[in-house]
Structure 1
Amino acid sequence: MLCASKSRDLRSLALSCVILVSIAPSLARADDPPVAPPATPAVEPAPIDPGPLAPRAFPAGDAATTGALFSDYEHRANARVERIATSRGGLPIRAITLHGTDAKRKLPALLIVGGMDGETMMSTEQVFAALKAFDGEQKTLLESMRVYAIPEANPDARAVAFKTSYPRSTNLRAVDDDRDGTVDEDGPRDVNGDGVITMMRRVAPPGRTATHVVDAADPRIVRTANHDKSEVATHEVFIEGLDADSDGLMSEDGAGGVDLDRNFPHRYPESARDAGPYQLSEPESLGIAKFVRDHPEIATAIVFGRHDTLAHFPDTKDKDSTGRTPMVYHEDDHALYREFGKLWKDSTKIEKSDTADLAGSLMIWLADHRGITAVAANGWARPELPKLPEGTPVPAETGDGEQAAWLAVSDRMYGGRGFIAWKTFDHPKLGPVEIGGFAPFFRESPTAVQASAIADKSAQFVVAAMAKRPEITVSDVVVTALADGLARIEMRVTNKGTMPSISAMGRINGVLPPIVVRLALKPDQVLSGRPVEKIERLAAGASVDYQWIVRMPTAGALDITVGGPFFDTLTRTARVGKEASR
């Protein structure tokens, strides 16, 4: 006001204000507190560059590169590589076995699987990182538990993803998605030649049904109209493509195929187009199933991919319409799987993870049909952004918080690489459109730099999981001589391990063989007790005591054997007057 009252024009106003400011310090009293210098605006720290988007910087999906990943294990004394199936595209599906000094010794085994699709590129890296963890001091764990690993269950999907730089979840089965009698004739393609396949949007012309709106707060966002807020849809949205078959549909019949993680029997989604014509219809899924069938010693399984049951623990009380079949885990296995969830968070410090519908997945087939203690692990989620400095304007609220959050990640962490700006294009079939949207793999997969860090953490979980296993021990027998050549025999079978011999679901479905206790006697020589006993399930730390009254053989010795799918047969020899074991 002082300046304004002494000035009649802009020039005199500026001059008087400068004079006033220049003499202001001389008007201050000596006992006045010092004037603080103006605050320096806070600057957001530069984030660590996550590197190029997937699949760049990941190991390529071609046969030569894939083979190189396995070659290191082909010549190791404690490893074996075998081909368990051939993909529809002719690529090998290999299993790696890591064992201790005695390869023939029967031990409980851990199965690790990755590469079920061409979206979660990191899953293959997680498997190899886990295998690498057993190169050093953790190698001693292989003396008590074997490791089977299938790093690349769907090599075709990975190879195509590298070739097209576009995420792919299915194998190479030819599928007529639009039921027009021709297969794979109208898939997504790079129409505008910018090197990526994104989305197309246009204002819906008369006669077409609009489904989306362009967000008013951030026009990069195209979303479904919110009818609760009286929004009226204005746009159509398509995957970038050409309508090559001229059926009026865009990019609806691309190459392949069957999603292997929807092709397994438990909760098989038979109506889904990508689930396959029937369960285990694909050579890849069938090969994995046969491998699991042929290895009943598999006690635990970890499937890396787009699913997660560790950070996203499922409701174990959730059942299907019959009320008997668990949707994911049996409720009696709740505590067992809770332990694995805690183990994941303690060893990786990862609290958040993406997940997907488990219907038809490998993981729930292992858990519910095979009775194997199986978990699904991912580890990737939308990165957390650092807090904005104080005073930073709050972005306007959009109609789609999830898209807005990903755009913020792209802008502040990826230098904008996560989003392709919308640009106009004259489409040969649709006319004027805009092409752009989120970059392929930006939301589906971490970069190779991010994946390496997550894979190292995942490997720590795998090592920790190796400590959870059943361990069956048998006590020496106690023999008490009775009259007329009879004897009482007592023995105890104990699970000294940290895991039950089989899950509760495994006991119910009865697929895996039980622990069998057998007396080397004819049935008529056993007067009390049974000559063959079965232990369907033995909890961690639990024991079963046995007592028989038998007619001892003339040799005065009796063998008792205890056998199971994950340990060598244990034999105890009972003799009247003394005990022995071998």
Structure 2
Amino acid sequence: MLVSWLTADAILAQTPTTSYINHAQLTTRLRALTGRHGGLSSLQSVGKSRSGKDIWLLTIGRGPAAGKPAVAVVAGVDGTHLAGTELAVQTAEKLLAAANQDSVARLLDSKTFYFFPSINPDAQEQFSARPRYERSGNGADTDDDRDGRNNEDPFEDLNRDGLITQVRVEDPTGTFIPSKEDPRVLVKADPAKGETGRYIVITEGIDNDKDGSFNEDGAGGIALDKNFTFDYPFFTPGSGEMPVSEPENRALLDFLYKAPNVYAVLTFGPYNNLSEAPKFDRAKTTKRIITGLLEKDATVGDQVSKLYNGQTGLKDAPAMPATRGNFAQTAYYHYGRFSFSTPGWWLPKTDNTAGTPRDTTRREPARNAGAGTPSTNEEVRYLKWAAANNISDAFVNWTPIEHPDFPGRKAEVGGIAPFAKLNPPVTLLNESADKHVRFLTALARQMPVIDIVNVRTESLSGGLTRVTAQVINRGLMPTGTEIGDRVRFVPKMKVELKTGNGQSVVSGRRMVLRGPMAAGESMEVSFLVNGTGRAILEAGNAMTGTKTVDVTLR
């Protein structure tokens, strides 16, 4: 429970804004946060977006940040996922608000937390712009339809409500019909059930370039979560001309690759490998290009998944597979770190007949148990949940319009409001942020801790001393990923006897490099040293922190 956190700062941190914030408001909020907690946090811009907006990095911890093991928290890579940015900021606020609590204070002494709350600010800004539409692409000008012109076929707000939704046009060749569960929702007609299509459905706008496609080349260029290096989707609209072509994800990767102390990455985004960990699949790990978790890493993934579910209590997560070229997978397969991703919030299951939401995270008995099952249609479920929670702006009612591309035909504008399904009202994220602070701090406490024990020195003839010791990982997680050995960029575990003047190691390797040590694993090292005086035995690496002990040579 977080009751002990309710200091004045904690109360401030638990008072969320009433709506999702734009980049200027994010900047103000982050600066105010570092102003209140200057000794524990710092704010820096690691780069600029295509339109010149800062890519902010909020660093949290006490003392030199680069000298301690770190967790990187990344959000806003997918521009449609505003909830991730809000959760990242609230998590940072709540972590700092609890800094005086002993357990959190010790954590901030020993760990660093890097928060990147908004990697794609150009796309996220579309929530505050008019017209509002869901946008994954940054501010790059692109020729998505390859006709030699940029941004010539954008959305148009045909009903002038400031939102871009859908247009349905009655047509005998249409493939959509109203859902029997909720007639506002359109579903594919099933001829096997005797259903005949009634509508064609397009995005709200007109065919400006008269190529038969609607709104296929508007503002919003490269989708950053398709532009990373792992499984990059060549020749896919929105993926860019080449991997990491954009300044936003270059800024993120440039920082990470220069930060060897990052042990794990947590991404808030529309991909979930935390509620249910990916399973080990040997066939995916024996190919020339590895596309599945290595066996030891899959075991850790399962461990962390159980930790996540236990700490957050979140259940009934929808299937949210990874897209090609996304950040979270690049962080594992190419950066070589443990990489965990969650949307942080998802639609709770609802009772399909009662119309009342059943929040499975609270472990309350289901109302009208046995009266019905949740709908399999995501939009129907969302609208039922929105109605139960008095969210009045979730849906734009179908409104007749005169569409210039369909003269004399019945056309209507409407549909679920942009950004609505992935992003609940901000006030509903406060509890989720509390849960993710619990998970983040629990994860950090399970990270490896290196210790050196049973140090012994034995004087031998000829001025020699035999030094033996055991190095142990006292943490609950290994010192690194199994994939890290394949990547070869990830720091190795190092055990080194640092000698001084007149000292030399005459038998045994002065420096021992090895792959990851499992939780609780120990190893023995032995050195035969010539000389007298003080030497230093050091073990660890940037991701685990280092442990040193003094050794007296006799």
Instruction: Pick the TM interval, shorter chain.
Output: 0.7 to 0.9
- Once the 2 structures are TM-superposed, how far is the Cα of residue 478 of structure 1 from its aligned partner? 1.5
Which residue, 19, 22, 26 being the options, matches 1:66?
26
Work out the CA distance in 2 between the residues paired with 1:187 and 1:298: 41
Give deviations 1:21-45, integer Å, cap 9, x for gaps.
Answer: xxxxxxxxxxxxxxxxxxxxxxxxx
Work out the CA distance in 1 between the residues paired with 2:473 and 2:402: 70
Work out the CA distance in 2 between the residues paired with 1:321 and 1:471: 29
- Once the 2 structures are TM-superposed, how far is the Cα of residue 97 of structure 1 from its aligned partner? 0.9
Which residue, 512, 515, 520 being the options, matches 1:541?
520
What is aligned with 2:10? Answer: none
For the Cα contact (< 8 Å) 1:353–1:379, is it kept in 2? no
Q: 1:289 to 1:412 in 2, by over 3 A?
A: same
What is aligned with 2:139? Answer: 172
For the Cα contact (< 8 Å) 1:105–1:568, is it kept in 2? no
Aligned: 1:130 with 2:91: yes
For the Cα contact (< 8 Å) 2:328–2:339, is it kept in 1? yes
Aligned: 1:300 with 2:264: yes
Work out the CA distance in 2 between the residues paired with 1:156 and 1:495: 43
Aligned: 1:468 with 2:462: no
Larger of the two Rg values belongs to structure = 1
Q: 1:161 to 1:328 in 2, by over 3 A?
A: farther
Work out the CA distance in 2 between the residues paired with 1:549 and 1:567: 27
Question: Which residue identity is paired with 2:152?
Answer: E
Q: Which moved further from structure 2: 489-498 or 85-94?
A: 489-498
Q: 1:520 to 1:357 in 2, by over 3 A?
A: closer
Which residue, 76, 84, 105 being the options, matches 1:139?
105
Aligned: 1:286 with 2:250: yes
Aligned: 1:418 with 2:394: yes
Question: Which residue identity is paired with 1:174?
Answer: D
Give deviations 1:127-150, integer Å, cap 9, x for gaps.
Answer: 122212222212331011111111
Question: Structure 2 stretches of 5 or more lacking a match?
Answer: 1-15, 357-366
TM-score using structure 2 length: 0.85
Which residue, 57, 80, 89 being the options, matches 2:42?
80
Which residue, 124, 142, 148 being the options, matches 1:158?
124
Work out the CA distance in 1 between the residues paired with 2:179 and 2:40: 58
For the Cα contact (< 8 Å) 1:514–1:565, is it kept in 2? no
- Once the 2 structures are TM-superposed, how far is the Cα of residue 89 of structure 1 from its aligned partner? 0.9
Work out the CA distance in 1 between the residues paired with 2:33 and 2:439: 22
Aligned: 1:108 with 2:69: yes
Aligned: 1:271 with 2:231: no
Q: 1:500 to 1:218 in 2, by over 3 A?
A: closer
Q: 1:283 to 1:104 in 2, by over 3 A?
A: closer
For the Cα contact (< 8 Å) 2:401–2:413, is it kept in 1? yes
Work out the CA distance in 1 between the residues paired with 2:545 and 2:22: 39
Q: Which moved further from structure 2: 230-239 or 540-549?
A: 230-239
In structure 1, the residue corresponding to 2:256 is in which secondary structure? helix
For the Cα contact (< 8 Å) 2:185–2:379, is it kept in 1? yes
Which residue, 540, 543, 550 being the options, matches 1:566?
543
Aligned: 1:236 with 2:200: yes
Which residue, 319, 322, 325 being the options, matches 1:360?
325
- Once the 2 structures are TM-superposed, how far is the Cα of residue 567 of structure 1 from its aligned partner? 5.7
Work out the CA distance in 1 between the residues paired with 2:117 and 2:57: 7
For the Cα contact (< 8 Å) 2:165–2:203, is it kept in 1? yes
What is aligned with 1:38? Answer: none
Q: Which moved further from structure 2: 270-279 or 79-88?
A: 270-279
Give deviations 1:537-570, integer Å, cap 9, x for gaps.
Answer: 11121111012334x12x4554444352136654
- Once the 2 structures are TM-superposed, how far is the Cα of residue 408 of structure 1 from its aligned partner? 2.5
Work out the CA distance in 2 between the residues paired with 1:356 and 1:473: 39
Question: Which residue identity is paired with 1:543?
Answer: S
Which residue, 189, 205, 215 being the options, matches 2:156?
189
Aligned: 1:253 with 2:217: yes
Give deviations 1:473-498, integer Å, cap 9, x for gaps.
Answer: 22363221223333322122111222
Alignment size in residue pairs: 515
Q: 1:321 to 1:254 in 2, by over 3 A?
A: farther
- Once the 2 structures are TM-superposed, how far is the Cα of residue 284 of structure 1 from its aligned partner? 0.6
For the Cα contact (< 8 Å) 1:212–1:237, is it kept in 2? yes
Superposition pairs of residues 1-150 of structure 1, within 5 angstroms: 57-63=18-24, 65-75=25-35, 76-100=38-62, 102-103=63-64, 106-134=67-95, 135-136=97-98, 137=101, 138-150=104-116
Give deviations 1:477-528, integer Å, cap 9, x for gaps.
Answer: 3221223333322122111222211011223322111122233469x96453
Question: Which residue identity is paired with 2:124?
Answer: R
Q: Which moved further from structure 2: 406-415 or 540-549?
A: 406-415
- Once the 2 structures are TM-superposed, how far is the Cα of residue 250 of structure 1 from its aligned partner? 1.2
Work out the CA distance in 2 between the residues paired with 1:56 and 1:71: 16
Work out the CA distance in 1 between the residues paired with 2:378 and 2:118: 31
What is aligned with 1:382? Answer: 347
Question: Which residue identity is paired with 1:180?
Answer: D
For the Cα contact (< 8 Å) 1:477–1:573, is it kept in 2? no
What is aligned with 1:200? Answer: 167
Q: 1:338 to 1:569 in 2, by over 3 A?
A: closer
Question: Which residue identity is paired with 2:401?
Answer: F
Which residue, 353, 371, 375 being the options, matches 2:336?
371
Which residue, 420, 425, 431 being the options, matches 1:442?
420
Aligned-residue Cα RMSD (Å) equals 3.1
For the Cα contact (< 8 Å) 2:20–2:82, is it kept in 1? no
In structure 2, the residue corresponding to 1:274 is in which secondary structure? coil
Give deviations 1:138-181, integer Å, cap 9, x for gaps.
Answer: 23310111111111111111112211332222211111111111
What is aligned with 2:3? Answer: none
Give deviations 1:232-252, integer Å, cap 9, x for gaps.
Answer: 434311001011222221111
What is aligned with 2:403? Answer: 427
What is aligned with 1:343? Answer: 307
For the Cα contact (< 8 Å) 2:223–2:238, is it kept in 1? yes
Q: Which moved further from structure 2: 350-359 or 163-172?
A: 350-359
In structure 1, the residue corresponding to 2:446 is in which secondary structure? coil
Question: Which residue identity is paired with 1:60?
Answer: I
Work out the CA distance in 2 between the residues paired with 1:435 and 1:508: 52
Q: Which moved further from structure 2: 563-572 or 454-463?
A: 563-572
Question: Structure 1 stretches of 5 or more lacking a match?
Answer: 1-54, 578-582
- Once the 2 structures are TM-superposed, how far is the Cα of residue 347 of structure 1 from its aligned partner? 1.4
In structure 2, the residue corresponding to 1:290 is in which secondary structure? helix
For the Cα contact (< 8 Å) 1:217–1:396, is it kept in 2? no
Give deviations 1:372-406, integer Å, cap 9, x for gaps.
Answer: 112001132223335729999x89999x7333333
For the Cα contact (< 8 Å) 1:319–1:326, is it kept in 2? no
What is aligned with 1:28? Answer: none
Which residue, 413, 434, 439 being the options, matches 1:456?
434
